[in-house]
Structure 1
Amino acid sequence: MVVKSELEKLGMYCITVETGQVEVLGNLSDHQLRYFKAALLNAGLELIEDRKKILIERIKAIVLDMIDNSDYPLKTNFSLYLSEMLNLDYTYLANVFSAMQGITVEHFIIANKIRRVKELICAKELNLTEISWKLNYSSVAHLSTQFKKVTGVTPSHFKYIECAGTLLPAMCEL
């Protein structure tokens, strides 16, 4: 909304506005671009112009959307899905991501799947079997092993601590 509003103030027509990208009709002058950047900064946003940074943000957005907004179990191979969505070779995507982020795409995906597992455990709407199915783990054991490797505790222990009310609030927000 902020992006669209600021562009309209500049007399620009937005063709599409999506997380991480905007397409406008026409070109911004240098003056308009400086104004737009300043307006975004005032709103707590940043204009990313570096192509590799843009690619990283698009990878993140696609992964997060797939993990967070799917009402159906994740059944797609992430590497294939990313390649198809971005129309680029996965090896290239993975190399750029690792070089710029300092972690692999796979570790980013795992960290965010575990974050989502925590959210789902805290929501108390699904059991571990349903959570493992929803996030495309091969089994509850696989989910539990990965969860413990990342967090240091089992999902059951995490749930017990959370239910006992002794959990630090930040733990459910991760």
Structure 2
Amino acid sequence: ETDLKWADIISGELNLDYKYLSSLFSSVESITFEQYIINQKIERVKELIVYDELTLSEIAFQLHYSSVAYLSNQFKKITGMTPSQFKKSVEKNRKSLDEI
């Protein structure tokens, strides 16, 4: 569903066939456009987790995921860890101001 939405937006904005654009993108970036979008979304999820101002449910809603479970599965597939494992690893590696 989301991929079709992106396809419509991109091909509409550039007034070019999506299959052509997708093929061109893949030849330059060595990944599909869909994978690029997913990677960008996961990077945004990481930022929002680090900021620690939103719950995972709020992050999922903000980034148009159909569910928290879907976001978590995609996050683990890309990063190799769950969002909560990522958050713990960031907190573990963060130094307090006293340590700087």
Under TM normalisation by the shorter chain, which class is it? 0.7 to 0.9
**What do residues 64-108 of structure 1 show as CA deviations (whole Å, max 9, x unaligned)?**
xxxxxxxxxx9x811111111111111111000001111100110
The aligned residue for residue 145 of structure 1 is 73
1: distance between equivalents of 2:30 and 2:23? 10
2: distance between equivalents of 1:115 and 1:146? 12
Please give the residue correspondences for 1:13-92 in structure 2 after superposition, counting only pairs within 5 Å. Answer: 77-92=5-20
Q: Amino acid of the residue matched to residue 59 of structure 2?
A: I
Structural RMSD (CA): 1.9
| Residue 124 (structure 1) aligned to one of 52, 55, 65 | 52
Structure 1 unaligned segments of length 5 or more: list them: 1-73, 170-174
Identify if the C-alpha distance between structure 1 residues 124 and 86 changes in structure 2 by more than 3 Å, giving closer, same or farther.
Answer: same
| Residue 104 (structure 1) aligned to one of 4, 8, 32 | 32
The aligned residue for residue 46 of structure 1 is none
2: distance between equivalents of 1:137 and 1:147? 11
Structure 2 unaligned segments of length 5 or more: list them: 96-100
2: distance between equivalents of 1:168 and 1:80? 41
1: distance between equivalents of 2:15 and 2:94? 42
Structure with more strand by fraction:
1
Larger radius of gyration: 1
DSSP 3-state at the match of 1:77: helix
The aligned residue for residue 115 of structure 1 is 43
Structure with more helix by fraction:
2
